[in-house]
């Protein structure tokens, strides 16, 4: 789902902050290998009964049935982080409002319009240091196929692992589990 990509990009970019001109800038953060832990809880997703039956027959968990945690490693370079954040905002027509920023964090409301639908929500990120970013995101997504919103609550933590990216490409995060 596109909104998951948006949230992943926000984590990868270390949760960008906005300037007075609404141009994204990154908080002070070290470049190199980062480990990102993202726990996603989703409710309201309407799955057609035949799709639900196939998923159950394959032994797959229904989306939103329980929180899902994913751990990835990303190689962060200044250029890649800024480009990823800028691309995400540009491709999804995102607007930020009520933005509050400081050297220790950022919060704000976000609304995005995508070809498949729209999303709105709130982001709250804390910069503990240039080696740790954590926070939470609450989003409500509407799509052409589903009129009731899909509610996504995400908790994330990104921890610096070192200057050596250990073979992880800046263009392709590695899923740890």
Q: What is the 3-state secondary structure (H, E, C) of 138-174?
A: EEEEEECCCCCCEEEEEEEEEEEEECCCCCCECCECE
Radius of gyration of the chain (CA): 17
**Residue that has been written with the tokens 């639900």 in this structure:** 52
pLDDT tens digit string along 133-151? 999 999 999 988 887 899 9
pLDDT tens digit string along 41-93? 999 888 888 888 888 888 877 766 689 999 999 998 878 777 766 665 566 67
Q: What is the pTM of this model?
A: 0.76
* Secondary structure letter of residue 75 according to DSSP: E
Q: Is the CB of residue 139 less than 8 Å from the CB of residue 3?
A: yes
Domain edges within the chain: 2-175
CA 107 to chain centre: 14
């Amino acid at each position: 789902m596109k909104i998951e990509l948006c949230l992943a990009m926000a984590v990868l970019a270390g949760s960008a902050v906005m300037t007075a001109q609404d141009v994204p800038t990154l908080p002070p953060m070290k470049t190199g290998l980062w480990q990102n832990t993202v726990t996603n809880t989703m409710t309201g997703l309407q799955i057609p009964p035949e799709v639900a039956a196939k998923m159950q027959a394959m032994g797959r968990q229904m989306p939103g049935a329980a929180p899902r945690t994913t751990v990835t490693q990303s190689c962060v370079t200044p250029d890649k982080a800024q480009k990823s954040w800028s691309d995400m905002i540009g491709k999804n027509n995102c607007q930020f409002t009520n933005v509050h920023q400081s050297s220790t964090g950022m919060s704000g409301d976000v609304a995005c319009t995508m070809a498949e639908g729209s999303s709105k929500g709130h982001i709250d990120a804390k910069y503990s240091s240039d080696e740790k970013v954590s926070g939470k995101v609450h989003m409500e997504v509407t799509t052409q196929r589903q009129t009731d919103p899909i509610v996504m609550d995400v908790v994330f933590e990104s921890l610096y692992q070192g200057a050596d990216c250990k073979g992880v490409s800046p263009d392709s995060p590695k899923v740890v589990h």
